[in-house]
Amino acid sequence: MVARVGADRILWGTDNPFIDPRPGLGRMLCAEVSDEDKRKMLGLNAKRLYKV
């Protein structure tokens, strides 16, 4: 997905508390993308989007 749309357009999310977020977070942290792209998807994009 990162290669197709770019990390700037992706937000990581969960279905917590209904589904344990740890497996999804583990997949995100082990993904073959740059650390900067991971930072964007795990929070920086949301911070920019919501202007916080």
- Alpha-carbon distance of 41 to 49, in angstroms, equals 11
Q: What is the mean pLDDT of residues 18-34?
A: 95
Task: Provide the residue range defining the domain that includes 36.
Answer: 2-50
Domain count, the chain: 1
pTM: 0.87
Q: What is the mean pLDDT of residues 21-47?
A: 97
How buried is 37 (Cβ within 10 angstroms: 0-12 exposed, 13-18 middle, 19+ buried)?
A: middle
- Alpha-carbon distance of 23 to 29, in angstroms, equals 10
Do the beta carbons of residue 10 and residue 1 sit within 8 Å?
Answer: yes
